[in-house]
Amino acid sequence: MARSEGRFEGKVVFITGAARGQGRAHARRFAAEGANIIAVDVCAPVLPDVSYESATVEDLHETVRLVEQEGRGIVAHVADVRDQASLDAAVAEGVDRFGRLDVVVANAAVASYHLTWEVPEEHWATVLDVNLTGVWRTVKASLPAMIEAGNGGAITFISSAAGLRGYSYLGHYAATKHGLVGLMRSLTLEVGQYDIRVNSLHPGAVDTVMGNDPDVPRIIAEDPRTTGAYTGQRPLGGGAQLTDDISNALLWLSSDEARMVTGITLPIDAGAAMR
Q: How far is CA 96 from CA 92, 147, 269, in A?
A: 6, 15, 37
The secondary structure of residue 223, as a DSSP letter, is -
Which residues, at least 6 apart from 199, have a Cβ–Cβ distance to it below 8 Å? 154, 155, 156, 157, 184, 188, 253, 261, 262, 263, 264, 265, 266
Are residues 191 and 141 in contact, defined by beta-carbon separation less than 8 angstroms?
Answer: no
By three-state DSSP, how is residue 107 classified? Answer: coil
Q: Would you name the residues annotated as active-site residues?
A: 173
- Element spanning 86, H or E: helix 84-98
Are residues 188 and 197 in contact, defined by beta-carbon separation less than 8 angstroms?
Answer: yes
Are residues 147 and 194 in contact, defined by beta-carbon separation less than 8 angstroms?
Answer: yes
Task: Report the 10 Å Cβ neighbour count for 264.
Answer: 15
Residue 180 to residue 108: CA distance in whole angstroms? 12
Task: Report the 10 Å Cβ neighbour count for 177.
Answer: 26
Q: How far is CA 256 from CA 152, 168, 260, in A?
A: 10, 38, 8
Residue 42 to residue 79: CA distance in whole angstroms? 5
